[in-house]
Structure 1
Amino acid sequence: MSNLIKSEWFKLTKDQSFRVLTLLLISVAVLFPLLEFDNTDTGLPTVSEYHLNNVLGIHTDIIKLIPSILAGFFITSEYSMGTMKSIVSSGNSRGRIYFAKLSMFSVGAVILSLLLPLFMTGASTVYFGFAGMPDLAFYLQTSGLIALYGAAFASIMAIFATIFSDSGKTIGFLLFMFLLVDWPLQVLAAKVSFLEPIINHSVFRLIYDIVNISQLDGKEVFIMVLIPVITFITSGIIGSYIFHKKEIK
């Protein structure tokens, strides 16, 4: 198993899409705060305000959309190129292969998810000054939850990246699904009463509460942490089963 994980980690670090997405996010994180400098407005937000309103304001889209692109290239492309067939024939069980791939893809998704909170907050500190820094506990809590939810959504992406055999289809489907999934879920929650608590306690809904973590009580925080863990494990089992049944050409 350790050799599989090392192999997947090596492929992740060499993956061109991962490198491009990393550089793109770092560039955006460093340059975006410069938009706050306006010749007609000399007032600048504090780092705490910027972290809350700008950095955390877009974290849901980053977690759900950017790793979807990585899924198409890091996972699905191996089916179309024949790489996965060689891996399966290496003698390792399909379960080990899938979870090694899922683990390293999740690591990549978490890294991509944390780049903006890290670099954009750091850049705003340089540009706006060190006054009004965000509370350290709040910063660590939100960053930790972003990592957890990044891994949870990565496990969902891995399922569809395994189902499809074309990178374009995987990327297109995942982007389309995550852009539009909120509205159908809201309708289901309103129309079907027994689904409401399930939907309201899913990663699709709870991800929007990360910004409000400081206002939640202990039970709500526990749920915020538990749900992505359960999602990751459940999605991993489902994906492993699909991979086990999949005909690899």
Structure 2
Amino acid sequence: MGNLVKSELFKLGKNRSFWTLIYIIFAWAIVYPILIFFVNGTASVTVKELFLDTALWGNNYVIKLAPCILAGFFISSEYSIGTIKSITSSGNSRIRIYFSKLMVFSIGAIIISLILPIVMTGVGAILFDFNEMPDLAYFFRTIGLISIYAAAFSSIMALVSIIFTDSGKTIGFLLIFFLSFHGILFALSLKISFFEIILNYSVFKLLFDIPKFNLENSELLTLVLVPILTYVVFGLLGSFVFQKKEIK
């Protein structure tokens, strides 16, 4: 398992789509506060406002959409170039192969998802003279929650990636799915109470609760447990599908 993980980490480090996403998000995280600084001046915004109103809310789209592109090129593309066939014929079990790939893909998704809040807050702090910094405990809590939600979404993306086995189809489906599923689920919840329960305890809705300040213990527990359970369930589903998948 260790060798498989090392191999996947090496491939992630060499993946062009991974680094392209990092460069784009990193540039956005730096340029946006600089534009605010030059247009409106030092006192135009506090670091806390920049973190809450821009970094966190904007990052919701990064968490759900950016790793979709990585999923297509990091997982699905390996079917077309024959890498998956070579790995499965190496003697390693398919469960180990899948979970090593899922683990490393999750790491990539987490890295991508943390760039915007960390870099934008850091640049904003320097530009705006550390004016009203977000509380340190709150900052690290949100960073931790972003990490596990990025992992949860990555488990869904990995499942779709091995179903389609084509980078173009995978990216297209995932982008449409993550852009529309929450709205579809919300519309269904207005008509059927069962879907309301699913919506309220889904990562799609709870993702928007991450920026909340005053969370009760039960709310925080829900925010933590739901993405972990999502990761486990979709990870098991993905491994099951991968075991049954015909690899040509």
TM-score > 0.5 by shorter chain: yes
Note the alpha carbon deviations across 1:130-189, whole angstroms, 9 max, x for none. 121110011001111000100000000000000012111100110111111111100121
Query: Which residue identity lines up with residue 166 of structure 2 in the other structure?
Result: D
In structure 2, how many angstroms separate the alpha carbons of the residues matched to 1:54 and 1:35? 13
Quote the offset at 1:195 in angstroms: 2.5
In structure 2, how many angstroms separate the alpha carbons of the residues matched to 1:227 and 1:150? 12
In structure 2, how many angstroms separate the alpha carbons of the residues matched to 1:169 and 1:49? 38
Moved over 2 A (4+): 37-43
Note the alpha carbon deviations across 1:192-236, whole angstroms, 9 max, x for none. 112311221110110010011x22200010000000000000000
Aligned-residue sequence identity (percent) comes to 52
- TM-score for the superposition, normalised by structure 1: 0.97
Quote the offset at 1:42 in angstroms: 6.5
**Contact 2:29-2:120 within 8 A present in 1 as well:** yes
Q: Does 1:219 align with 2:208?
A: no
Query: Which residue identity lines up with residue 245 of structure 1 in the other structure?
Result: K
Q: Secondary structure at the match of 2:44?
A: coil
Residue 240 of structure 2 corresponds to 241
Residue 93 of structure 1 corresponds to 93
Q: Secondary structure at the match of 1:180?
A: helix
Alignment of structure 1 residues 157-236 onto 2, 5 Å: 157-212=157-212, 214-236=213-235
In structure 1, how many angstroms separate the alpha carbons of the residues matched to 2:6 and 2:158? 19
Residue 114 of structure 1 corresponds to 114
Alignment of structure 1 residues 56-75 onto 2, 5 Å: 56-75=56-75
**Contact 2:145-2:224 within 8 A present in 1 as well:** yes
Quote the offset at 1:43 in angstroms: 3.8
- Structure 1 unaligned runs (5+)? none
Alignment of structure 1 residues 8-157 onto 2, 5 Å: 8-39=8-39, 43-157=43-157
Quote the offset at 1:67 in angstroms: 0.3
Query: Which residue identity lines up with residue 234 of structure 2 in the other structure?
Result: S
**Closer, same or farther: CA 191–43 of 1 in aligned 2, 3 Å:** same
**Closer, same or farther: CA 70–40 of 1 in aligned 2, 3 Å:** closer
Indicate the RMSD between aligned Cα atoms, in angstroms.
Answer: 1.2
Deviates most, 132-141 or 191-200: 191-200
Deviates most, 96-105 or 191-200: 191-200
In structure 1, how many angstroms separate the alpha carbons of the residues matched to 2:69 and 2:185? 23
In structure 1, how many angstroms separate the alpha carbons of the residues matched to 2:39 and 2:199? 46
**Contact 2:37-2:128 within 8 A present in 1 as well:** no
In structure 2, how many angstroms separate the alpha carbons of the residues matched to 1:40 and 1:233? 46
Query: Which residue identity lines up with residue 45 of structure 1 in the other structure?
Result: V
Quote the offset at 1:23 in angstroms: 1.2
- Structure 2 unaligned runs (5+)? none
**Closer, same or farther: CA 129–42 of 1 in aligned 2, 3 Å:** closer
**Contact 2:47-2:132 within 8 A present in 1 as well:** yes
